[in-house]
Amino acid sequence: MQLTDPSSSSTPSSTRSWIVHGLAAGVAAAVAFGAQAYLFSRRSAKFRSRVIGIIPARFASSRFQGKPLVHILGKPMIQRTWERAKMATLLDHVVVATDDDNIAACCDGFGAEVVMTSESCRNGTERCNEALQKLGKKYDVVVNIQGDEPLIEPEIIDGIVKALAAPDAVFSTAVTSLKPEDACDPNRVKCVVDNRGYAIYFSRGLIPFNKSGKVNPRFPYLLHLGIQSYDAKFLKIYPELPPTPLQMEEDLEQLKVLENGYKMKVIKVDHESHGVDVPEDVDKIEHYMRQRNLC
Amino acid sequence: MAICNPSSSSSSSTSTSTKAWIIHALAVGAAAAMAIGAHAYLYYRRSGKFRSRVIGIIPARFASSRFEGKPLVHILGKPMIQRTWERAKMATTLDHVVVATDDDKIAECCRGFGADVVMTSESCRNGTERCNEALQKLGKQYDVVVNIQGDEPLIEPEIIDGIVKPCRHCFSAAPDAVFSTAVTSLKPEDAFDPNRVKCVVDNHGYAIYFSRGLIPFNKSGKVNPQFPYLLHLGIQSFDSKFLKIYPELPPTPLQMEEDLEQLKVLENGYKMKVIKVDHESHGVDVPDDVDKIERYMREHNLH
């Protein structure tokens, strides 16, 4: 029986195989470690999400033609909204998305960046999506800031951006306390949420609705505010999703999100809504601003 | 330079690398076998060939603010609880049907027509708690529990089967739905009746919300004759693990304001499957309903 010398003959090939195994294990460990670190940083939001605020502003309107340009205490409404948006700390960039040259020129005048979009956009969300596609840079989160809420608090914008960090939420929005006198107003949209702050439903009818059918003065009903923020990948597909039955019956676009099974995070804020929908609202808001020394 | 003899060195490297290859091959083989086994098991469960054990429970209490002793009231000569039980027995997906009651008279009546009875406490706050208590008392293990309302004596067995079938798949293969229930078309005259509970669903058949108010609610505030509004029916089916924890979950704000227990499911973030059925609701809530239902049954030759 020939005894082979273990050290000399086994060394070259088994050493090689050990080296190969060692390298493979090392690479696998490095990849695993790297992946964990990446996921951790994304989850922990230390990952820098790129956030853009878009103010859709169209000229045409059934109730108030040229609304973005109306002067509120001497300054165009679109400028007031833009200045407030610029104060939000979590927006990397703010643009106005419009379909009208007058609005574009006005915005250039006070230093706002403008993206021109089609007149055919059916709503603010589509306009935001079109603007997003046109912008060169990549963004992770898009905030749709209503141009007709010139007193929007920057903290609300920051709040809905933070809310979008919630797991599996592709959309976030805000609510505030509903005033009892608005309970039966179908123009005031009510909202109900679950115990982790995800939207359950939105309605023009009073929800929740108790057995008596009357407003309960002790229940904290919620009023939906128009500000919304989207995951950019979701925004790409959202306008193309076909309209859904509840969305069409209530005429509430956000219901399309829920009807398609997506999750929506809702934050509660203290905000007195001062939307400007019709010319009469201008006097109301100027009156409010003078009373509070806002200029 | 020493040139190793290829044959002799390769024969010894062969023995070590052969061992290594054998070990590797065994490991891969074992992993593959486990993967195939796991897939086969999941496929078997998903394909519904997996036999979920389903129990139907009819909670029946004696006390009632509006109609004391209701389960025992005679409808065309037969106790209501018996009619409901007979209908439940016709459902093909139930392995077993029991009546869960807190009253000896009801228990005796049920045993009289051959039903299995589980005695439960008077302190159960609602049918769901009673179902859960009954489930705990039963010796056998069940995967799905159907809560069959005792006061719907004309419940179609197909509706019971209808809410069990999707859930046999839901519960085992898609564990996101822990609860299922049924809806039917809402009659326009019931739109503003807060005793008729309306429901809205998403495009996969999951419940979005339930309300005593009209939902969806359009800008005009009027009923839309073209919209297919949905009326919630009282029948419910639970994953049995969920049923164990559900009655203990604290009441939630919307549940309390609307006085609708099912909202607790949604407010806690659980998913609920909804099936649409054709069913004319003939619930017996107050003594006057007895005449109504007897008249209906005579007209339709039901006895």
Report pLDDT digits (tens) over B243-300. 999 988 999 999 999 999 899 999 999 999 999 998 887 888 888 889 999 999 999 9
**Confidence (pLDDT) at A3:** 47
**pLDDT of res. B191:** 95
pLDDT score of B15: 64
**For chain B, what percent of residues have pLDDT higher than 70?**
87
The mean pLDDT of B181-209, rounded to a whole number, is: 94
Q: What is the average pLDDT across B110-136?
A: 94
- Note the pLDDT of residue A9: 47
Residue B55 near residue B138, CB atoms below 8 Å: yes
The three-state secondary structure class of A157 is: helix
User: What is each CA distance from A279 to A76, A186, A189, B37, in whole angstroms?
Assistant: 14, 20, 21, 70
- CB contact under 8 Å between A4 and B17, yes or no, is no
Tell me which residue of B128, B122, B97, B120 sits closest to B244, measured CA to CA. Answer: B128
- Interatomic CA distance for residues A102 and A76, integer angstroms: 12
With a cut of 70, say whether residue B153 has pLDDT above it: yes
Tell me the one-letter amino acid at B284.
V
CB contact under 8 A, B216 and A203: yes
pLDDT at A4: 44
Output the CA–CA distances (angstroms, integers) from residue B130 to A195, A270, B152, B171, in the order listed.
Answer: 25, 42, 17, 22
Q: Are B202 and A13 an interchain contact pair (Cβ–Cβ within 8 Å)?
A: no
Helix (H) or strand (E) segment spanning residue B118 = strand B116-119
Looking at residue A197, what DSSP letter applies? S
Distance CA A91, CA B258 (A): 39
Question: Per the structure block, which two tokens stand in for A84?
Answer: 């407030």
The helix/strand/coil state of B107 is helix
Cβ(B208)–Cβ(B265) under 8 Å? no
Cross-strand partners of B181:
B236, B274
**Are residues A13 and B8, on separate chains, in Cβ contact within 8 Å?**
no
Predicted confidence at residue B294, as pLDDT, reads 93
- Give chain A's mean pLDDT: 88
- Amino acid identity of B80? M
A254 phi/psi in degrees, rounded to 5: -65, -20
CA neighbor of B238 nearest in space, from B141, B130, B164, B156:
B164
Distance from CA of A292 to the nearest CA of B (A): 34
Q: State the Cα angle at B274 between B58 and B151, rounded to 5°.
A: 25
Residue of B20, B19, B13 lying closest to A4 (CA atoms): B13
pLDDT per position as a tens digit, A243-253: 999 999 999 99
A37 falls in which pLDDT band (50, 70, 90)?
low
Nearest to A249 among B213, B224, B269 (CB): B224
Q: What is the pLDDT of residue B132?
A: 94
Report the pLDDT averaged over residues B120-145: 91
Read off the pLDDT band of B49 (50, 70, 90): very low
Task: Please report which confidence band the pLDDT of residue A62 belongs to, taking 50, 70 and 90 as the band edges.
Answer: confident
pLDDT for residue B12 is more than 60: no
Least confident of A44-58, A96-110, B266-280: A44-58
Question: Residue A46: pLDDT above 70?
Answer: no
Nearest one of A262, A264, A200 to A227, comparing CA atoms: A264
CA dihedral A229, A231, A233, A238 (to 10 degrees): -40
Structure confidence at residue B173 (pLDDT): 44
Residue whose tokens read 């109609």: B67
Residues in A 41-70 with any Cβ partner in B closer than 8 A: none
DSSP calls for B223-282: --TTS--EEEEEEEEEEHHHHHHGGGSPP-HHHHHHT-TTHHHHHTT-EEEEEE------
- Segment of A57-61, A111-115, A118-122, B67-71 carrying the highest mean pLDDT: A111-115
> Measured between alpha carbons, how far apart are the two ends of chain A, in Å?
103
Can you give the length of chain B in residues? 303
* pLDDT at residue B89 is higher than 90: yes
Give A131-167 pLDDT, tens digit per residue.
999 997 899 999 999 988 899 999 999 999 999 988 7
Is some CB atom of chain B closer than 8 A to the CB atom of A208? yes
Tell me how far apart the alpha carbons of residues B147 and B130 are, in angstroms, rounded to a whole number. 9
What's the pLDDT score for residue A14? Answer: 73
Identify the pLDDT of residue B75: 93
Q: Does A242 touch chain B (CB under 8 A)?
A: no
Residue A26 has pLDDT above 80, yes or no: no
CB proximity under 8 Å: A 210-229 to B: 210-213, 216, 219-220
- Alpha-carbon distance of A51 to A231, in angstroms, equals 9
Whether the pLDDT of residue B6 is over 60: the answer is no
* Chain A residues touching B3 at Cβ < 8 A: none
Q: Residue B64: pLDDT above 50? A: yes
What is the residue whose two structure tokens read 């509430």? Answer: A252
Q: What is the mean pLDDT of residues A266-272?
A: 92
Query: Alpha-carbon distance A277 to B240, whole Å?
Result: 52
Residue A268 predicted with pLDDT over 90: yes
State mean pLDDT over B210-234: 96
Q: Choose the most confident range, by mean pLDDT, from A194-203, B39-48, B118-127.
A: A194-203
pLDDT at B76: 93
The ipTM, to two decimals, is 0.80
Q: Residue A218: is its pLDDT beyond 80?
A: yes
User: Taking CB atoms and an 8 Å cut-off, how many pairs form between chains A and B?
Assistant: 137
Q: Which of A110-119, B30-39, B204-213, B250-259 has the lowest mean pLDDT?
A: B30-39
Residue A276 phi, psi dihedral angles, 5° rounding = -110, 105
Paired tokens of A71 = 């002067």
Q: What is the pLDDT of residue B95?
A: 95
pLDDT band, residue A109 (cuts 50/70/90) = very high
Cβ contact, residue pair B211, A209, below 8 Å: yes
pLDDT at B50: 56
Cα angle: B66, vertex B127, B122; to 5 degrees = 75
Chain-chain contact of A201 with B208 (C-beta, under 8 angstroms): yes
Length of chain A (residues):
295
Instruction: Count helices and strands (H / E) in chain A.
Output: 9, 11
Higher pLDDT: A123 or B211? It is B211
In the numeric block, the tokens 């979920």 are attached to B52
Kindly report the pTM of this predicted structure: 0.80
Gap from B297 CA to chain A (nearest CA, Å): 30
Distance from CA of B268 to the nearest CA of A (A): 6
Give mean pLDDT, residues A269-294.
88
pLDDT at A6: 45
Least confident of A221-230, A269-278, B257-266: A269-278
Residue A227: which H helix or E strand, with range? Answer: strand A222-231
